[in-house]
Amino acid sequence: MAAGNGFFAEVNAAVDRAVALMEFEPGILEQIRACDCVYRVNFPTRRDDGSIEVIQGWRVEHSHHRAPTKGGIRYSMMVSEDEVTALAALMTYKCAIVDVPFGGAKGGLKIAAWKYSPAELERITRRFTFELTRKNLIGPGVDVPAPDYGTGAREMAWIADTYTMLHPGDLDTLAAVTGKPVTQGGIRGRNEATGRGVYFGIRETCEDEELAKKWGMTHGFAGKRIIVQGLGNVGYHAAKFCQEGGAVITALAEFDGAVHDPNGLDVEAVYHHFRETGSIRGFPGATTLERSAEALELECDILVPAALEGQITGENAPRINARVIAEGANGPVTGEADAILRARGIGLIPDVYLNAGGVVVSYFEWIKNISHIRFGRLGHRLEQQHSERLLRAIGRMSGAPEMPDDEFKRITAGSDEVSLVNSGLEDAMITALGELRSVQRENREVDLRTAAYVVALTKIRRAYDELGLFP
């Protein structure tokens, strides 16, 4: 699909490339691609100065082949019906790829969050929740929002509280939204889940010897030179975990520019500088680039655009100097750019797989809220005791000297909530990549994005068959 026809059209163009490898009746394909529900809302809010402003927003449910539907809510002046629809469609395919039993959804308000006071944002968020509730577009078994660009745990707590007030006596109201603070029913590990998932996905593709060779890289993750665009929740955590995993972060970019050091940047130090000064520019010891887009064209092994969609286009794709693009954001590479990058032999790890970590851990949070029990609570101590007995028995039989207390406690520690969440996320990302690679081995010339959509469409079609919707 040519660039300029919209984000949703580009998502469907990627679907069409996958369909070319499959057998689909036109009617079934039309149903899978179609958006089931689009709700547009306009509501008034009172600003702190007493003035009235009308807020425009959307909630889109792309597919009901699984219930509930699932997807974030973003606050941005770039929000549009096309964008929200495209993101809802991506959520449908994303959930299928990582085997999360949700349909896809997305929501957004056309506001610049930084222009509003916390009190104003609270009023706006609670009113939006009310609007969704009265149309039955939110609920534990209906549609479950989560944070996205411009929102976070605070906004999700407001949504959960509003929904709970509107449903007195319902024990499962906290499951109506995920990404909440841990004290309000959230789950440990959710905040960093998308970035951690990006790290797992990049690491596993680098450890795939066949893929590394195809993309012109040495086998293995350690030492890879990585550039990350975006120091929001996803970009920061992706950069942090990649650095901890042994990669060298050579450049970091934000809205007002970028910093570059071919010998490697300290991610935590750059992030602290950014938070303290409000700008990434001027970080000591690094070269400051005037434009964020300049960082995208620097030489590296892996480029991670983790900001907004449409960052790599037909205009700058010929100048990209990375061996692999890892899509941390949704839709950072346009359809036109994708074709150029493939023709140049540049590898691409697609968003529809790579940034699925957030919805995987949101699923865990939803399960926690429905079951009303913290992960690891029942088995943590028992597992610890079994490990202690085993280690002491081995020590007695081997005659080895007694282990230091801190080392003993570290080895025998039982699985707590965060370790179980991270383990489940890692397993989901590794398993999903294995399925994508299986499709590639069956179709040798297929890129990873197309393979991802083949996997997603296969699972969605199977779900429709199981429901008997297409006898």
Tens digit of each residue's pLDDT (9 = 90 or more) over 151-182:
999 999 999 999 999 999 999 999 999 999 99
Report the pLDDT value the prediction gives residue 415, as an integer from 0 to 100: 67
- State the average pLDDT over residues 290-316: 94
Report the pLDDT value the prediction gives residue 4, as an integer from 0 to 100: 45
pLDDT above 80: residue 408: no
What proportion of the chain, given as a percentage, has pLDDT over 70?
91
Contact by Cβ (8 Å): 327, 354: yes
Report the pLDDT value the prediction gives residue 379, as an integer from 0 to 100: 64
Q: What element of type H or E holds 304?
A: strand 300-305
Joined together, the tokens standing for residue 359 give 């919805």
Give Cβ neighbours of residue 35 (< 8 Å, ≥ 6 apart): 8, 60, 61, 62, 85, 88, 89
- State the average pLDDT over residues 435-445: 91
CB atoms near residue 171 (< 10 Å): 11
Q: In the chain, which residues fall in CATH 3.40.50.10860? A: 36-184
pLDDT above 60: residue 48: yes
- State the average pLDDT over residues 446-459: 96
pLDDT tens track for 67-106? 999 999 999 999 999 999 999 999 999 999 999 999 999 9
Between CA 260 and CA 278 the distance in angstroms is: 18
Report the pLDDT value the prediction gives residue 287, as an integer from 0 to 100: 95
Output the average pLDDT for the chain.
92
pTM: 0.90
Joined together, the tokens standing for residue 14 give 């990627």
Report the pLDDT value the prediction gives residue 399, as an integer from 0 to 100: 66
Report the pLDDT value the prediction gives residue 108, as an integer from 0 to 100: 98
Report the pLDDT value the prediction gives residue 3, as an integer from 0 to 100: 39
pLDDT tens track for 183-219? 999 999 999 999 999 999 999 999 999 999 999 999 9
Banded pLDDT at 471 (limits 50, 70, 90): low
Q: With b meaning 16 or more CB within 10 Å and e meaning fewer, what string describes 146-169? A: bbbbbbbbbbbbbbbbbbbeeeee
Banded pLDDT at 127 (limits 50, 70, 90): very high
- State the average pLDDT over residues 107-130: 97
Domain boundaries 187-379+415-448, corresponding CATH code:
3.40.50.720
pLDDT tens track for 415-434? 678 888 999 999 999 999 99
Report the pLDDT value the prediction gives residue 454, as an integer from 0 to 100: 97
- State the average pLDDT over residues 293-304: 96
Domain boundaries 36-184, corresponding CATH code:
3.40.50.10860
Report which of 289, 320, 281 is spatially closest to residue 304, judged by C-alpha positions.
320
Query: Which of 106, 180, 240, 368 is an active site residue?
Result: 106
Report the pLDDT value the prediction gives residue 417, as an integer from 0 to 100: 84
The residue whose two tokens read 């997305």 is 106
What proportion of the chain, given as a percentage, has pLDDT over 90?
82
Banded pLDDT at 2 (limits 50, 70, 90): very low
Most confident of 18-22, 28-32, 295-299: 295-299
pLDDT tens track for 132-157? 999 999 999 999 999 999 999 999 99
pLDDT above 60: residue 412: no
Report which of 164, 232, 235 is spatially closest to residue 195, judged by C-alpha positions.
235
Report the pLDDT value the prediction gives residue 1, as an integer from 0 to 100: 35
Banded pLDDT at 26 (limits 50, 70, 90): confident
Q: What is the CB-side half-sphere exposure of residue 374 using CA atoms within 13 A? A: 17
The residue whose two tokens read 């061996």 is 323
Joined together, the tokens standing for residue 5 give 């026809």
94 is known as an active-site residue: no
Q: In the chain, which residues fall in CATH 3.40.50.720? A: 187-379+415-448
- Measured in degrees and rounded to the nearest 5, phi and psi for residue 240 equal -60, -50
- State the average pLDDT over residues 394-412: 67
pLDDT above 90: residue 376: no
Contact by Cβ (8 Å): 109, 79: yes
Q: In the chain, helix, strand, coil percent, each to 5?
A: 50, 15, 35
Report the pLDDT value the prediction gives residue 391, as an integer from 0 to 100: 61
Tell me the three state secondary structure of residue 60.
strand
